[in-house]
Amino acid sequence: MNRRRFLRLGASVLGAGALAAVAVPSAALLLAEGRPGRLLDSDLPLPDAFQVPLPVPKTLAPVRTDAGADYYEITQQVARLEILPGVTTEAWTYGGTFPGPTIAARSGRAVVVKHRNELPVPSVVHLHGGHTPADSDGYPTDLLMPVGSSSDHAAHAMPGVHAMNGMPGTEHAKGRTVTGERTLTYPGLQRAATLWYHDHRMGFTGPGVWRGLAGFHLLHDEEEASLPLPRGDRDLPLMIADRSFAGDGSFHYPSADATLAEPGVTDGYANGVLGDVILVNGAPWPRVDVDRAHYRLRLLNASNARLYRLELDPQPSDGDALVQIGSDGGLLAAPVAHDAIEIAPAERFDVVVDFSRYAPGTQVRLMNRFGSGRTEEVMRFDVSSRAVTDDARVPDTLSTIAGLDPKAVTVTRDFAFRRSRGDGWTINGDLYEPGRDLAAPALGATELWRFTSDLHHPVHLHLDQFQVHSRNGKEPGPYDAGWKDTVDLRPAEAVEVLVRFSDYAGTYMIHCHNLEHEDMAMMADFTIS
Ligand code: C2O
Ligand code: CU
């Protein structure tokens, strides 16, 4: 990289083009409930709802196993998919599908994944919710360069690379870049939970995930297996994600720089990109036949910015349709019944629905009460009339959750999530800079972290799950139960969480999971030692 380019691009994570592209959305748009972002319309006719069957991502088979670990291989590749009926969409995929293949892991057994990058761009894989050593966690400048981009020169010519290489400072600023393949190790020393993996490349997580780089990673354990919960094909992972499509069928995303040399989005989308098509497991407004039986639905919001209020329509006669059994970090202590669930980007809610509460033939729509028009519908369950057996039920006690003790807190830290004046999104007033720590927790210490917001910010911590201690000085909210790795902050809120970082020293991330906010620098390092 020549010196002029270094000066132009190296001064900040955000290039000059990206800075100019951040415009202030109107106050009404910013504050509208459930609308943190701006709708991007598709440029082709949208299909009718409930025409496409619900796909279930296939479970990846290990290439080998040994006493302590299962070994997998995933090739990141461009694939031509039929997402809208009759339309071809070129996607960036894990293994040729969107969502990527599901990894089914066993608590206490390591999962080792060799990723090979055949995409036209660098990538970074993060296991969201994973209790992962730092060198496998997907630090945003630990680039995996595409196969064949072997020389340094070629690497720097890749879209987006110069935006972080050439930054002054630490080893982290440069990142642990490798070319072609990288092997990531997930020790699995954590309880059963619905995790997911997705791209985490600095400055380009939004366009990467939007184009398809996301998949489930389901962790199972003995405790979960001992419960009479729905299983097999009555245990459905549901990845909910809004997307928009260009006239040629490609994913439509408002990148400030279409070549992806610079991060950022065009005018008006800095507060988040909302799609006008709701996909579940990669299919638009799908439908699925269900028996009159209990189903476990693992709800994941894999949208860049959209917040959903999910509700079944019709409701069963006595309400409480969605019985929550788990959160981001696995089983709750006891079930919590909801009429509706509000789910922010990256959050997971594990719920059981008893479809025997509906008459045979009922068509039950999953609605998004925060949406409007086409985005008000998500998918449909068609209740069959056939006679079935169903041994599943939701026990009154699910698990034991040891509460983190507020009296054990040794350090309290404040993190203010705010829009900066004209140049992106900040934590405590700073744009993200790799290698600069915002906190240095001691391994094993219990800390209280307080998050405050100006607007909507789903706040995510890497490495360990936390417990919500208070929301706006009161009890945690109805969607805060259990172990969490992402907590939704609404405009002008204050949320306190208790967290204890365990097992692995090293540098990890705290960031907003609105992916446009994340890419526009609402992220920070913390280093545990
Ligand atoms: Cu799901 Cu740091 O991300
Ligand atoms: Cu945010």
- Quick: pLDDT tens for 178-209: 999 999 999 999 999 999 999 999 999 999 99
Is the beta carbon of 469 within 6 A of some atom in ligand 1?
Answer: no
**Predicted confidence band at 258 (pLDDT cuts at 50, 70, 90)?**
confident
pLDDT higher than threshold 60 for residue 8 = no
433-449: buried (b, 16+ CB within 10 Å) or exposed (e) per residue?
A: bbbeebbebeeeebbbb
Task: For residue 59, count CB atoms less than 10 angstroms from its CB and return exposed for 0-12, middle for 13-18, buried for 19 or more.
Answer: exposed
- Are the C-beta atoms of residues 341 and 351 closer than 8 Å to each other? yes
pLDDT at residue 343, rounded to an integer: 98
- Are the C-beta atoms of residues 508 and 341 closer than 8 Å to each other? no
pLDDT higher than threshold 50 for residue 250 = yes
- Higher-confidence residue of 170 and 383: namely 383
Note whether 239 and 209 are same-domain residues.
no
Q: Is residue 143 part of a domain?
A: yes
pLDDT higher than threshold 80 for residue 261 = yes
**Atom number in ligand 1 closest to CA 509:** 2
Which pair of tokens denotes residue 376? 């008000």
Helix/strand/coil for 368: strand
Q: Is residue 289 part of a domain?
A: yes
As separate numbers, helices (DSSP H) first and strands (DSSP E) second, the chain gives 8, 36
**Atom number in ligand 1 closest to CA 511:** 2
Query: Which residue reads 């006239």 in tokens?
Result: 247
For residue 196, which ligand has an atom nearest its CA?
A: 1
Last residue of a domain, one of 225, 242, 258: 225
Q: What is the Å distance from ligand 2's center to 206 Cα?
A: 12
Is the beta carbon of 517 within 6 A of some atom in ligand 1?
Answer: no
Instruction: Give the start-end residues of each E strand in 291-370.
Output: 294-301, 308-313, 322-327, 330-338, 340-343, 348-354, 363-368
CA atoms within 13 A on the CB side of 115: 30
Q: Is residue 68 part of a domain?
A: yes
**Predicted confidence band at 210 (pLDDT cuts at 50, 70, 90)?**
very high
Q: Is residue 46 part of a domain?
A: no
Q: Is residue 393 part of a domain?
A: no
**Predicted confidence band at 3 (pLDDT cuts at 50, 70, 90)?**
very low
Task: For residue 184, count CB atoms less than 10 angstroms from its CB and return exposed for 0-12, middle for 13-18, buried for 19 or more.
Answer: buried
Q: How many domains does the chain have?
A: 4
Note whether 19 and 88 are same-domain residues.
no
pLDDT higher than threshold 50 for residue 390 = yes
pLDDT higher than threshold 70 for residue 27 = no
pLDDT at residue 153, rounded to an integer: 45
Q: What is the Å distance from ligand 2's center to 238 Cα?
A: 24
pLDDT at residue 160, rounded to an integer: 57
Is the beta carbon of 460 within 6 A of some atom in ligand 1?
Answer: yes
Instruction: Look up the CATH number of the domain holding residue 291.
Output: 2.60.40.420
Is the beta carbon of 287 within 6 A of some atom in ligand 1?
Answer: no
**Predicted confidence band at 175 (pLDDT cuts at 50, 70, 90)?**
confident
Per-residue pLDDT averaged across 298-315, rounded? 98
The secondary structure of 37-93 as a DSSP string is: SEE---SSPPPPTT-SBPP-PPBPPPSEE-SSEEEEEEEEEEEEEE-STT-EEEEEE
| Angle, vertex CA 140, rays to CA 204 and CA 190, nearest 5 | 120
| Closest C-alpha residue for ligand 1 atom 3 | 128
pLDDT higher than threshold 80 for residue 166 = no
Note whether 196 and 241 are same-domain residues.
no
Strand pairing class (363-368; 308-313) = antiparallel
**Structural domain of residue 10, as residue ranges?**
3-33
Q: What is the maximum span of the chain, computed from C-alpha positions, in angstroms? A: 73
Q: What is the Å distance from ligand 1's center to 204 Cα?
A: 12
Chain Cα centroid distance, residue 466: 16
pLDDT higher than threshold 50 for residue 18 = no
Note whether 437 and 296 are same-domain residues.
no
**Predicted confidence band at 422 (pLDDT cuts at 50, 70, 90)?**
confident
Which pair of tokens denotes residue 431? 């744009």
Note whether 491 and 522 are same-domain residues.
yes
Note whether 214 and 82 are same-domain residues.
yes
Q: What is the Å distance from ligand 1's center to 292 Cα?
A: 36
- Are the C-beta atoms of residues 455 and 517 closer than 8 Å to each other? no
Q: How far apart are CA 52 and CA 285, in angstroms?
A: 7
Which pair of tokens denotes residue 293? 């039986």
Q: What is the Å distance from ligand 2's center to 24 Cα?
A: 14
- Are the C-beta atoms of residues 378 and 406 closer than 8 Å to each other? no
- Cα→Cα distances 476→8, 194, 299, Å: 45, 22, 21
Is the beta carbon of 348 within 6 A of some atom in ligand 1?
Answer: no
Last residue of a domain, one of 181, 197, 225: 225
Q: Is residue 114 part of a domain?
A: yes
Sheet strand arrangement including 486-489: 437-439, 523-528, 506-512, 457-461, 486-489
Q: What is the Å distance from ligand 1's center to 235 Cα?
A: 24
Q: Is residue 38 part of a domain?
A: no
Helix/strand/coil for 186: strand
pLDDT at residue 1, rounded to an integer: 29
Q: What is the Å distance from ligand 2's center to 332 Cα?
A: 27
Helix/strand/coil for 311: strand
Chain Cα centroid distance, residue 141: 18
**Predicted confidence band at 484 (pLDDT cuts at 50, 70, 90)?**
very high
Amino acid at 5: R
The secondary structure of 244-292 as a DSSP string is: -B-TTSSBP--BSSTTSSS--B-TT-TT-EE-SEEEETTEES-EEEE-S
Note whether 219 and 245 are same-domain residues.
no
Per-residue pLDDT averaged across 295-323, rounded? 97
Note whether 19 and 161 are same-domain residues.
no
- Are the C-beta atoms of residues 136 and 178 closer than 8 Å to each other? no
Percent of the chain with pLDDT over 90: 86
Q: Closest by alpha carbon to 349, among 370, 368, 332, 324?
A: 324
Chain Cα centroid distance, residue 28: 26
Q: How far apart are CA 401 and CA 334, in angstroms?
A: 10
Note whether 91 and 197 are same-domain residues.
yes
Note whether 306 and 379 are same-domain residues.
yes
Amino acid at 19: L
| Closest C-alpha residue for ligand 1 atom 1 | 128
- Cα→Cα distances 264→68, 301, 460, 497, Å: 42, 22, 20, 30
For residue 485, which ligand has an atom nearest its CA?
A: 1
For residue 454, which ligand has an atom nearest its CA?
A: 2
Q: What is the Å distance from ligand 2's center to 97 Cα?
A: 28
**Atom number in ligand 1 closest to CA 128:** 1
Is the beta carbon of 217 within 6 A of some atom in ligand 1?
Answer: no
Per-residue pLDDT averaged across 53-57, rounded? 98
Start-to-end CA distance of the chain, whole Å, equals: 35
**Atom number in ligand 1 closest to CA 523:** 2
Is the beta carbon of 198 within 6 A of some atom in ligand 1?
Answer: yes
Is the beta carbon of 380 within 6 A of some atom in ligand 1?
Answer: no
Last residue of a domain, one of 383, 414, 442: 383
Q: Is residue 84 part of a domain?
A: yes
pLDDT at residue 31, rounded to an integer: 52
Note whether 345 and 432 are same-domain residues.
no
pLDDT at residue 321, rounded to an integer: 98
Q: Model-level pTM?
A: 0.93
pLDDT higher than threshold 90 for residue 421 = no
For residue 132, which ligand has an atom nearest its CA?
A: 1
Q: What is the Å distance from ligand 2's center to 393 Cα?
A: 38
Percent of the chain with pLDDT over 70: 88
- Are the C-beta atoms of residues 516 and 306 closer than 8 Å to each other? no
pLDDT higher than threshold 80 for residue 24 = no
Note whether 257 and 372 are same-domain residues.
yes
Q: How far apart are CA 445 and CA 13, in angstroms?
A: 32
Q: What is the mean pLDDT of the chain?
A: 91
pLDDT at residue 22, rounded to an integer: 41
Is the beta carbon of 128 within 6 A of some atom in ligand 1?
Answer: yes
